[in-house]
Homo-oligomer: A and B are copies of this chain.
Amino acid sequence: MTPDHKTRLAAFLEQVWNLGDEDAVAAFVADRYTLRHDPGDPWHGQTLDQPEFRARLRAARAPFPDQRFTVRRMTAEGDTVAAAWTWQGTHRGEVGGIAPTGRRITMTGVTLYDFDEAGRITGHWQEVDRLGVYRQLAG
């Protein structure tokens, strides 16, 4: 299942996160999705059902409507895929109390995604360069 997991992860990031297609969430996301290991994420430690996942997708994409994840590395074993990625987006809406700056923001991150038997993602362990983002927004 490992090559398939990588392909599915790439499709999930493209369709759900890059294009913001809420209708695609049901195909990629399990009934429960748990976010771990990323203390700065507003949803850190939560387990979301699909409507909550779609709400998070909307809220996270709103300040950066043109945002794009680009996967730089993938490492897969069993039901887990680790991905190192870069992200870019233009700051068009309020985020963390900061009014839109129109700046082009870049961010890096590393995430471990877990899949269920149906090939849907049950959650992630994630770390991102949140400090770098704040510096770009405030700088």
Contact = CB atoms under 8 A, between A and B. Distances in A.
Interface of A: 2, 37-40, 72-73, 75-78, 80-82, 84, 108-112, 125-132, 134
A43 to B, nearest CB: 15
B125 A109 contact: no
Contact of A131 (B110, B112, B131): B131
A130 B77 CA distance: 28
A119 B133 CA distance: 35
Contact of A77 (B77, B109, B126): B77
A97 to B, nearest CB: 15
Contacts of A132: 39-40
A81 B75 CA distance: 8
A37 B131 contact: no
Given A77-B2, A84-B37, A72 B125 contact: yes
Contacts of A38: 108, 129
